[in-house]
């Protein structure tokens, strides 16, 4: 199986309703390490003066999580999986201004339950 697992086959639960797990491929992950740019830091600092949602950082976080998620979907498919259960995100500051975002879960082969 090549490509990526379909997003509809990913869940934070340990099972996907309507399907049964027939094979467990183990933990899969997508990891992105990203730093903020000087311009991004300046823009975020200006937004903190006004208060409210810091859109520059929100957009950066959303983009980074999206990229980590896509890598996870590809990693799972490369193992032959068609689903991911127990999906989670984690983030760690590796050094000042540099953050690692990890998307992880258990890659599984799912088959529909009989109707």
CATH (one of 3.40.50.1970, 3.30.43.10, 3.30.110.70, 3.40.50.150) for 7-112:
3.30.110.70
The reported pLDDT for the residue numbered 93 is 87
Q: How large is the C-alpha radius of gyration of the chain?
A: 17
The reported pLDDT for the residue numbered 96 is 81
Which segments of the chain have a pLDDT < 50? Answer: 1
The reported pLDDT for the residue numbered 99 is 86
The reported pLDDT for the residue numbered 52 is 61
Q: Is 51 left (phi over 0), alpha (psi -120 to 50) or beta?
A: left
The reported pLDDT for the residue numbered 11 is 98
The reported pLDDT for the residue numbered 1 is 45
DSSP secondary structure string, 76-97? HHHTT-SEEEEEEEEEEEEETT
- Domain range annotation of the chain: 7-112
């Amino acid at each position: 199986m090549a490509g990526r697992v379909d997003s509809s086959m990913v869940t934070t639960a340990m099972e996907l309703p309507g399907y049964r797990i027939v094979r467990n491929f183990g933990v899969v992950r997508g990891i992105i390490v990203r730093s903020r740019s000087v311009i991004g830091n300046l823009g975020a600092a200006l937004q903190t003066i006004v208060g409210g949602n810091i859109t520059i950082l929100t957009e950066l976080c959303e983009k980074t999580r999206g990229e980590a998620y896509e890598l996870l979907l590809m990693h799972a498919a490369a193992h032959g999986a068609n689903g991911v259960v127990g999906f989670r995100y984690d983030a760690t500051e590796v050094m000042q201004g540099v953050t690692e975002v990890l998307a992880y879960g258990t890659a599984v082969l799912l088959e529909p339950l009989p109707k």
